[in-house]
């Protein structure tokens, strides 16, 4: 009876032969972000989620500063964030010098969308 009532919800579960790649917030928060050259850009400290769709819109990159003072925050579009298999880092194609000269945003004034102008190569 319960299965009949659940109907489509049960159909969305992965089949035993399918794999699902999930991350927990604890896997994401405070993870190092590197660029493809291996330069450390900072840490992923937060994510912005669209309330209507449930999709991650961007990752918050905290760059620079010491002990939280003088940090700049950048909205990196989630589509530009790569996760190398088996590693606990994220890779984003951003030039470190670009972050030094870009203004970033204040933590109490998060932008509505990610900033694609920071990303050197756009996803396909």
Q: Provide the β-strand partners of residue 94.
A: 119
Residue 85 phi, psi dihedral angles, 5° rounding? -60, 135
Residue 36 phi, psi dihedral angles, 5° rounding? -60, -25
For residue range 49-103, list pLDDT tens digits in order.
Answer: 999 999 999 999 999 877 667 789 999 999 999 988 888 899 999 999 999 999 9
Q: Note the pTM of the prediction, 2 decimals.
A: 0.77
Mean model confidence pLDDT for the chain: 83
Contacts of 61-64 spanning 24+ positions with Cβ under 8 A: 61/33, 61/92, 61/94, 61/99, 63/99, 63/104, 64/99, 64/100
- Domain limits, the chain: 23-118
Mean pLDDT of all residues in 98-121: 92
Contact status, residue 92 vs residue 114, Cβ threshold 8 Å: no
Fold held by 23-118: SH3 type barrels. (2.30.30)
């Amino acid at each position: 009876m319960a299965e009949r009532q659940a109907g489509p919800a049960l159909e969305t579960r992965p089949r035993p032969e399918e794999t699902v790649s999930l991350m927990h917030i604890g896997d994401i928060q405070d993870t190092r972000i590197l660029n493809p050259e291996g330069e450390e850009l900072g840490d992923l400290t937060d994510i912005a989620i669209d309330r209507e769709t449930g999709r991650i819109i961007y990752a918050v990159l905290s760059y620079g500063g010491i002990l939280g003072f003088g940090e700049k925050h950048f909205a990196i579009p989630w589509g530009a964030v790569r996760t190398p298999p088996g590693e606990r880092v994220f890779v984003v194609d951003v030039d470190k010098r670009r972050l030094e000269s870009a203004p970033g945003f204040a933590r109490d004034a998060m932008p509505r969308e990610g900033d694609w102008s920071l990303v050197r190569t756009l996803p396909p």
